[in-house]
Amino acid sequence: MDVPFRSALRDFGPPSWRSGATAMRGLLQRHHWGLALLSLPVVASVVLPVGYLILRGLGAGEEAVEYLLSARTMTIVGNSLALAVAVAVAAVALGVPFAWLTTRTSLPYRRVWLVAGMLTMVIPSYLGAIAFAEVFGPVGTLRDLLAPLGVRRLPSLYGFFGAWVVLTLYTFPYVALPVRAALLRIDPAQEEAARMLGMNRWKAFFRVTLPQLRPALAAGVLLSMLYTLSDFGVVMVLRFNAFTRAIYTTYNSTFDRERAALLALMLIALTAVLVWIERRAGRQVTTYRHQGQTARKSSPVPLGRWTIPSLILCAMLVLTGVGVPVLVLSGWAFDPNLTSPIPLELELLVAQSVGVSAFTALFVAIGGTPIALLASRSASRISRLIVGASYFGNVLPGLVVGLALVYFAANYMPFIYQTIPLLVLGYGVRFLPYSVSATRSALSMISPRLNEAARTLGCSEVEATRRITFPLARAGVFAGMALVALSAMKELPTTLLLAPIGFKNLVTRLWTGYEAATFALVGWPGLMLLAASAVTLLILLWQED
Amino acid sequence: MQKSRVLVLILAALVLSLLPASAQAGGESLVVYSGRNETLIAPILAQFTEETGVAVQVVYGDTSAVANQILEEGANSPADVYIGQDAGALGALSKAGALALLPSDVLERVPAVFQSQQGEWVGLSARARVLVYNPTEVEALGLEMPQSILDLTNPEYAGLVGWAPANASFQSNVTAMRVLLGDDVTAQWLADMVANGAVSYGSSNTNLNLAVASGEVVFGITNHYYMHNLKKQDPALNLEQAVFPAGDAGSLVNIAGAGVLTTSSKPALAQRLILYLLGDNAQTYFTEQTSEYPLVEGIAVNEALIPLESIVQPAIDLSDLDDLQATLAMIEGSGALDQ
């Protein structure tokens, strides 16, 4: 047993510059086929339903092509693309200054703003949309406040404009965070050199820093566009006919399954094209820094008279993104005049939400472990393919995952159709990547030398894994599980499509209440989900450290 | 290790806590597929459970979607009873052979005009299609009241009319227009409405009524009872309603009704539920709590409602509203759902 390990060590060169993951690759080479086999059922449950969707959609033949090229479909493509591009542009316009302010400047309470900004990222955007419609709708609360001034109605929030504003507010951190990380990595010496050569601060930023931010910007733009394309709640609430709304209406109101499947396929194709473009755009960039050195901390740029406007910008982002939903939902939750003909049953809703989410986290952690092991230990083509496929669910819109599973289960797994396991599977497909990447990074932090030491002290390999690897990886694995659980708890479209007969949780109750304008049913579930968002943020921050 | 065991235990407990919800199979139980909104039908179903001990599990959705779901599920459908909010979806199910013949003690309780000719579905309550409007806005803008549903395409109403094209009651109204006026006229009307900037509220009549009350739009074509139910919560709501004059295609009196699925393994229990919904208690609930018209004789009608006699129905048989698919296709084709 010792021999392959030692030869593996020789193959990978001196231990001083080897990462733990690389060495483990050698250590467990012979287990890779086992891991791959264990990963297959999980990957299959991600890929098969979508494959079925494709078969079903294309089964329509010529009619399918005609429908895909019809004016209606083209309008939907145009709407979705326009919204995604507009959101990405606005997210860059907000995200880059936000990242710079919270990283490089003398902005007061930088960390507070950073955390508050991140909070908008984890708040479900449908809650934001519902609250925005209530406040900024043509005849919403704001109109009521302005009524004494003779304002009869505000410009319509519905349609493109509202969806654009709300989605931008909830996606700008997707740009801000990678940009911030890049700013922290970039060596400030270059900017200093540029300034010594006579550039002013702006010029130095645009000529020296910005080009190095390109991969981070590309990643941020991709994330915000993917978020926009897959978002369901905002376009439903604010009535903009992007893909997800059109798919849902087609599925739910006309029940035209073939067409819903075709639209879903088109959305997948659009998503794939975006990912491909980003891969290409993100590649050809050089970061100029002396190898092996970490960047020196730059001294904060004094904002001077820009301090107040900067604070206002940050406060606006946080107050609208976080403050508006908190206020509106609290208003409904604590309004004694709001009544509902059906009971809220909050305890039951929380129990069901938490229960199913916890079950999902457990299921995903177990299913994801072999994949994470494979990812951290093997770089073979097969394992890369498996790991890549497991990440598939994260770029697929929840609505598409839901549809695919409904169709697939109704036809091939009737025993699971309309049951909680199918709902859990739906969440699992969506959130498996969270668990895999958390487990993977936890594993790759563990030095193989610890196991090696245990082996020399007489532990068997299994025992070493159990006593060394597992306890060390545990925190990361649990953080991943918590992230999965909280994400599942807030997921809207997958829940709407896959919730079994009679099943209610926070999300379904809130949505019923919203659709029937029975706001007594919206307030508390909404606040609970906001609380879950806050916990999600804590987990994200903890994982960062 | 200790900590992780505790965690596993907690998870197991959570998982177990879910079981009661999915495995409440102790006593008798029924599965209902409901196209009626939960806030309207759940309280009376809960009373049924309380009185009979029969557990009722309900799938809620849009009326046409739930009907189509039953058809798609075919022989595997777990549904025992279908409750829809219009005659069209019930007719479509019946035409597809999904509904079983109801016994005479059920059919006898309801006037013949409010049940299927073959006896496969019955109305549980009646509702009228009305035009709700915001009186302040009508006055402020100096508008004439439209005299027909067809007038709503006039340029003076451009951007002022709200509708809920994904709602089954609207869809049934469109089917009625097709029966009365023909497909060409109806399709043209839909296209003209879209072109005239009709504002869509998806499937939500409640949101449509609230929008009219707040002045977001001035008119709304909807069912009569939303206004009454909203006014119970807020009597000051700036909302009135009118019925189109005699025999107009826009003044349809439709039903919310129910049928038993042919695939149900418990037809007797299913019929018992329908009989309960036609009982005096439930009929009173429908008129008092949901502000609909009771269909069983001898039940006092909610006084706030326009007397049913004063609404002149167009000459139409509710059983003729069963061509749901063609209506859905026409509505989809008009672009009304994409607004």
Instruction: Supply the ipTM of this predicted assembly.
Output: 0.82
Q: Does A152 contact chain B (CB < 8 Å)?
A: yes
* Cα separation, A407 vs A136, whole angstroms: 38
Chain A nearest CA to B44, separation (Å): 10
**Do A512 and B37 lie within an 8 Å CB cutoff?**
yes
Pick from B17, B68, B331: CB nearest A351: B17
Q: Tens digit of pLDDT for each residue in A347-399?
A: 999 999 999 999 999 999 999 988 988 887 777 788 888 888 888 887 889 99
Least confident of A76-90, A244-258, A414-428: A244-258
**Do B76 and A137 lie within an 8 Å CB cutoff?**
no
Q: Among A446, A369, A375, which residue's Cα sits nearest to residue A19?
A: A446
- What mean pLDDT do residues A72-93 have? 95
Which residues in chain A are closer than 8 Å to B43, comparing Cβ atoms? Answer: 341-342
Q: Does A196 contact chain B (CB < 8 Å)?
A: no
- What mean pLDDT do residues B237-241 have? 93
Pick from B15, B21, B64: CB nearest A253: B64
* Cα separation, A89 vs A94, whole angstroms: 9
Chain B nearest CA to A241, separation (Å): 6
Q: Can you read off the two tokens belonging to residue A152?
A: 């009869």
**Which parts of A111-193 are beta strand (E)?**
none
**Do A515 and B18 lie within an 8 Å CB cutoff?**
no
Q: Can you read off the two tokens belonging to residue B116?
A: 């299927």
What is the reported pLDDT for A432? Answer: 92
Which residues in chain A are closer than 8 Å to B174, comparing Cβ atoms? Answer: none
Cβ atoms A317, A117 nearer than 8 A: yes
Which residues in chain A are closer than 8 Å to B211, comparing Cβ atoms? Answer: 139
What is the reported pLDDT for A7? Answer: 36
Which residues in chain A are closer than 8 Å to B338, comparing Cβ atoms? Answer: 72, 75-76, 241, 246, 249
Q: Does A202 contact chain B (CB < 8 Å)?
A: no
Q: Does A500 contact chain B (CB < 8 Å)?
A: yes
Residues 6+ apart with CB under 8 A from A344: A509, A520, A521, A524, A525
β-sheet bridge partners, residue B129: B223
pLDDT at residue B71 greater than cutoff 90: no
What is the reported pLDDT for B22? Answer: 42
Residue A114, number of CB atoms within 10 A of its CB:
22
Q: Among A256, A266, A59, which residue's Cα sits nearest to residue B330?
A: A256
**Do A250 and B332 lie within an 8 Å CB cutoff?**
yes
What is the reported pLDDT for B21? Answer: 44
Q: Tens digit of pLDDT for each residue in B179-236?
A: 999 999 999 999 999 999 999 888 888 889 989 998 889 999 999 999 998 888 788 8
Helix, strand or coil, per DSSP, at residue B256: strand
Residue length, chain B?
Answer: 339
Which residues in chain A are closer than 8 Å to B78, comparing Cβ atoms? Answer: 418, 501
Q: Does A467 contact chain B (CB < 8 Å)?
A: no
Q: Does A362 contact chain B (CB < 8 Å)?
A: yes
- List A residues 407-436 in contact with B (Cβ-Cβ < 8 A): 410, 414, 417-420
* Cα separation, A107 vs B9, whole angstroms: 46
Q: Does B43 contact chain A (CB < 8 Å)?
A: yes
Cβ atoms A21, A445 nearer than 8 A: no
Q: Does A260 contact chain B (CB < 8 Å)?
A: no
**Do B206 and A517 lie within an 8 Å CB cutoff?**
yes
Residue with tokens 């809207």: A492
Pick from A139, A241, A512: CB nearest B338: A241
Top residue of A152, A254, A352 to mutate, by most chain B CBs within 10 Å, is A254
Residue length, chain A?
Answer: 545
Q: Does B339 contact chain A (CB < 8 Å)?
A: yes
Residues 6+ apart with CB under 8 A from A213: A96, A179, A182, A183, A186
* Percentages of chain A per state (helix, strand, coil), in multiples of 5: 80, 0, 20
* Cα separation, A493 vs A357, whole angstroms: 15
Assessment of whether the complete model's pTM goes beyond 0.90: no
Q: What are phi and psi of A189, to 5 degrees?
A: -55, -35
Pick from A239, A502, A517: CB nearest B57: A502
Q: Does B75 contact chain A (CB < 8 Å)?
A: no
- What mean pLDDT do residues A525-529 have? 97
**Do B289 and A518 lie within an 8 Å CB cutoff?**
no
What is the reported pLDDT for B193? Answer: 97
What is the enclosing helix (H) or strand (E) of A193?
A: helix A188-196
> In Å, how far are A48, A55, A262 from A52, measured between CA atoms?
6, 5, 12
Q: Which residue did the predictor score with more confidence, A115 or A412?
A: A115
Q: Tens digit of pLDDT for each residue in A286-324?
A: 555 544 455 566 678 888 888 999 999 999 999 999 999
Intra-chain end-to-end CA distance of chain B, in Å: 57
Q: Does A142 contact chain B (CB < 8 Å)?
A: no
**Do A253 and B328 lie within an 8 Å CB cutoff?**
yes
Which residues in chain A are closer than 8 Å to B215, comparing Cβ atoms? Answer: 139, 152-153
Q: Does B166 contact chain A (CB < 8 Å)?
A: yes
**Do A359 and B76 lie within an 8 Å CB cutoff?**
no
What is the enclosing helix (H) or strand (E) of A6?
A: helix A2-11
What is the reported pLDDT for A67? Answer: 87
**Do B337 and A249 lie within an 8 Å CB cutoff?**
yes
Q: Tens digit of pLDDT for each residue in A314-323?
A: 999 999 999 9
Decide the pairing of beta strands B81-84 and B253-260: antiparallel
Q: Can you read off the two tokens belonging to residue A496?
A: 């709407």
Pick from B14, B40, B233: CB nearest A358: B14
The pLDDT-based confidence of B15 (bands split at 50, 70, 90) is: low
* Cα separation, B327 vs B332, whole angstroms: 8
Which residues in chain B are closer than 8 Å to A414, comparing Cβ atoms? Answer: 76
